[in-house]
Amino acid sequence: MTSDLTEVSVHTHFENLYGYEPTGVWSAPGRVNLIGEHTDYNDGFVLPFAINRRTFAAVALRTDTVCRVASSFEQTVHEIDLAGITRESVSDWAAYPFGVAWALQQVAGSENATGFDIFIDSDVPVGAGLSSSAAIECAVAVALNELWNLELDHRALARVGQHAENAIVGAPTGIMDQSASLLGETDHGVFLDCRSLEAEVVDLGFAREGLELLIIDTKVAHRHADGGYASRRAACELGAQTMGVAALRDLNADALPNATELLDPLTLARVRHVVTENQRVLETVAVLRTQGPRFIGELMHASHVSMRDDFEISVDELDTAVETAMRHGAIGARMTGGGFGGAAIALTPVEKISEVTLAVTAEFALLGYAKPDIFVVSAAPGAHREE
């Protein structure tokens, strides 16, 4: 599905369903994280990029306070009153757009807020760790920000998306996904300091160097409203508290010997992942700027090993995807996103793409895993108005 088709189709679907024309169409991309996993809620560093898979939202305001959302992926029209949005009153994917409407009012007040009708379509795969949820949140956030005349900038909108996800969806996630979806640029990564929210775009140079980034969606579904993500976050908070710092961002490798004395072995392993991962993000940015993307492979793989062994958020399918890709010519590979399923990424020379694809597919079949979905993504622009 191309972006144009989706843009036109949401407009038409909106009209067919609601019986009038939308005011406009806004879109926001999914994201992959190149490196920096579970560092965002530790006030650390991340390097994601927005991908060329997007969510499109056709939107119009209403004169009353009724809010309706519908999508191409199911028949239901979800409806709620603007004043009635709570964690308990919303469910399913509708929690994302309704959550954003709620969070915008928390941040900017409700004077300008009215009801709305929205129709959504998306080619961001769901459950693959590519932030299909952030894509919905950010498309709706830019739309309502404009239609309600709130004049919030994209950084503030990232906070709005995170707030919606934490308070209304009930997933204790960080700021990375929404920041990537809002701040992404073609061919660039978003190097974000999750404490200050200062962001710099970093030239990835993949195409110039004859590289492509392969997504290997393992089809193992994950949900961050489940316990694994929250328990990792709690371990990090315990680690920071015991070490006497505001967040794990405030520790570097020099602190690890002392941490060994103070922390239980499990908390130590979680802390070690975050501390070393922050360092790997900084090194990756430096290597991209000085030597280029062909030299970041070891850092990517070290990140995977750290998530597998210290943070324990990988699964067999992700490990198989990473190791098979590496054996067949990928420069670097790692799981991406929150973990417990979802996708791996493999930075691969163009001439090795088919070999890696065939090898991973064959290995999954041999091991009796579900057939993986393997495709190339590129770095695309962040959320904006389409028409």
Q: In the complex, which residues of this chain contact ligand GLA (CB under 6 A)?
A: 33, 37-38, 40-41, 173-174, 176-177, 224, 337-338
Q: Which of 40, 177, 217, 310 is catalytic?
A: 177
Q: How far from each other are the two terminal CA atoms of the chain, in whole angstroms?
A: 18
Q: How far apart are CA 379 and CA 259, in angstroms?
A: 38
Residue 320 or 336: which CB sits closer to ligand GLA? 336
Distance (Å, rounded) from C-alpha 126 to C-alpha 301? 25
CA distance 94 to 99: 8
Closer to ligand GLA by CB, 70 or 307: give it.
307
Query: Does residue 175 contact residue 196 with C-beta atoms inside 8 Å?
Result: no
C-alpha count within 13 angstroms, C-beta hemisphere, residue 271: 30
Say if strands 24-35 and 78-81 run parallel, antiparallel, or are unpaired: unpaired
Instruction: Say how many C-beta atoms besides its own lie within 10 A of residue 241's C-beta.
Output: 11
Catalytic (active site) residue 123 = no
DSSP string spanning 146-185? Answer: HHTT----HHHHHHHHHHHIIIII-----SHHHHHHHH-B
Rounded to the nearest whole angstrom, what is the least distance from the CB of residue 347 to ligand GLA in the complex?
18
3-state secondary structure of 68: strand
Give the chain's radius of gyration (CA, Å).
21
> Is 335 or 356 the residue whose CB approaches ligand GLA more closely?
335
State how far the Cα of 53 lies from the Cα of 51, in Å rounded to an integer: 5
Residue with smaller CB distance to ligand GLA, 131 or 267? 131
CB closer to ligand GLA, 77 vs 230: 230
By annotation, the residues acting in catalysis are 177
